[in-house]
Amino acid sequence: MATSSSANRRPCASLVTAWSQKTGGAKTEEEHRLLGQALRWFSRFPVIQLVHLTAGLKDQPYALPTLVAQMPGDANLGQFWSALGIAPRPSFYLTVTIAMLPLDETNVGPPVQTLRTEFMSVLAPQLTGLVKDQQGKALAAAQIRISETGQSVTTDASGRYVMVGLAFGTYTFVVQMAGFQPLQQAIQFQADRQLHDLILSP
């Protein structure tokens, strides 16, 4: 956490809700009563003093301001409850603004060595890809079998395999090659997911 005045300040929002095991009107009444108590309690603390902070927050350079029952500008409660697959429940937001130092270092990955271009056909889709080791080297003569259909192929000299005549769906691939551990992996074959590389471990 931040220890200097050059830190950036970022709001952290939490959704506070109440769940009751009661039914009908008693359920609604209890949930609103609990939320009301929580709302009154949080409203007592417009600022969280530094003495109350623990763990990674204890080094904050200043007290933390709070906002109670104010929805963040980018919040969409309808999408939130839909993602959970349940009906909307009574709730309110609690937002605390904390300080964070900008990152001093940027993680840099290895340089790109090769550029690979793959084409997919909408009219004649096929399940294809490469079998490789953990260093990215293509493996020729690897045996691939689909558990559900019994169909099997062997990778060519470039490590490529092609499965033809498959309907869209999820399949279990079993891959074997001397010197490597057998691999069993679920593959989802769709019009926009035709390419699947398989990685073998020694």
* 146 and 187 share one domain: yes
* Residue 181, both tokens: 């551990």
With beta carbons less than 8 A apart as the criterion, state whether 97 and 1 touch.
no
* 30 and 74 share one domain: yes
* Residue 152, both tokens: 């099997």
13 closest CA partner among 87, 78, 70: 70
Predicted pLDDT of residue 112: 67
* 132 and 94 share one domain: no
Predicted pLDDT of residue 51: 83
Residue 158, in any domain of the structure: yes
Residue 113, in any domain of the structure: no
* 82 and 135 share one domain: no
* 157 and 87 share one domain: no
* 142 and 191 share one domain: yes
* Residue 90, both tokens: 């009574």
Residue 93, in any domain of the structure: yes
Instruction: Look at residues 100, 135, 160 and tell me which one is the last residue of a structural domain.
Output: 100
How far is 199 from 58, CA to CA, in rounded Å?
44
Residue 110, in any domain of the structure: no
Predicted pLDDT of residue 157: 92
* 13 and 54 share one domain: yes
pTM for this structure? 0.44
- Judging by DSSP bridges, how do beta strands 64-68 and 127-133 pair with one another? unpaired
Helix or strand run (H / E) with residue 162: strand 160-163
Query: Total domain count for the chain?
Result: 2
Residue 3, in any domain of the structure: no
* 82 and 138 share one domain: no
Instruction: Look at residues 100, 115, 150 and tell me which one is the last residue of a structural domain.
Output: 100
Residue 177, in any domain of the structure: yes
Q: Which amino acid, residue 201?
A: S
Residue 64, in any domain of the structure: yes
187 closest CA partner among 155, 144, 143: 144
- Residues spanned by the domain of 170: 127-200
Helix or strand run (H / E) with residue 129: strand 127-133
CB atoms within 10 A of CB 75: 14
CATH code, 176: 2.60.40.1120
| Average pLDDT of adjacent 10-residue blocks, the chain of 202 residues | 52 85 87 90 86 81 86 70 78 86 67 66 82 91 93 93 90 93 91 89 90
Residue 81, in any domain of the structure: yes
Spatial CB neighbours of 2, under 8 Å, sequence gap ≥ 6: 8, 59, 60, 61, 98, 99, 100, 101
Instruction: Look at residues 84, 100, 116 and tell me which one is the last residue of a structural domain.
Output: 100
Predicted pLDDT of residue 5: 42
* 85 and 132 share one domain: no
* 90 and 141 share one domain: no
Count each helix (H run) and each strand (E run) in the chain, helices first. Answer: 2, 11
